Amino acid sequence: MSDGGGGGGGTVRAAGCLLWRRCGQGPEIEVALVHRPKYDDWSWPKGKLKPGEDAEACAVREVLEETGMRCVLGAVLPTSRYLTDGRLKEVRYWAARALGGSFRPSREVDRLLWLPPTEARSWVTHDRDRPLLDALLLTWDDTIY
């Protein structure tokens, strides 16, 4: 049996986004990476589901909390599964277009970078985050909205 994201010994459920924006008037995009000082890592915005919250709502909320950006969800990206603190963590991801907002550093996320995808690939800390970037780029035609 699994739980929503909080206590117990089940699967930790989380959701996040590969947040993107256009660079000027061209077809090029930038993606957002967040730095979490607790782990000293660079990753995609994500977080645990709250009780009763669905994954889509969680993804949008986490993007807003961690980046200060409002967003609209696009293509579904692969789900990431890995062990953390001896428990399975399952993170559902979406492509998400940034609609605007402003970043404010916090204890949880102290820096935000907007980078071209090729540069972002070298900044992400965890190897498991790179295939998500590949998936975003493969679905790119479907995410222009």
Report residue 108 as tokens.
């949880």
3-state SS, 62-113, equals HHHHHHCEEEEEEEEEEEEEEEECCEEEEEEEEEEEEEEECCCCCCCCCEEE
Question: How confident is the model at residue 145, as a pLDDT?
Answer: 46
Question: How confident is the model at residue 19, as a pLDDT?
Answer: 98
Question: How confident is the model at residue 24, as a pLDDT?
Answer: 74
Integer-rounded Cα Rg, in Å, for the chain is 15
Report residue 66 as tokens.
């961690």
Q: CA-CA distance, 34 to 113, in Å (whole number)?
A: 7
Q: Which helix (H) or strand (E) holds 114?
A: strand 111-115
Q: Which CATH number fits domain 12-143: 3.90.79.10, 3.30.70.890, 2.40.50.140, 3.50.50.60?
A: 3.90.79.10
Taking CA atoms, 3 is separated from 17, 53, 55, 56, 84, in Å, by 21, 12, 13, 17, 15
Per-residue pLDDT of the chain (145 residues; tens, 9 = 90+): 334 444 456 999 999 999 999 987 667 899 999 999 999 999 999 999 999 999 999 999 999 999 999 999 999 999 999 998 899 999 999 999 999 999 999 999 999 999 999 999 999 999 999 999 999 999 876 445 4
Q: What is the DSSP string of 13-64?
A: EEEEEEEEEE-TTSS-EEEEEEEETTTTEEE-SEEEPPTT--HHHHHHHHHH
Report residue 132 as tokens.
């998500």
Q: What is the pTM of this model?
A: 0.89
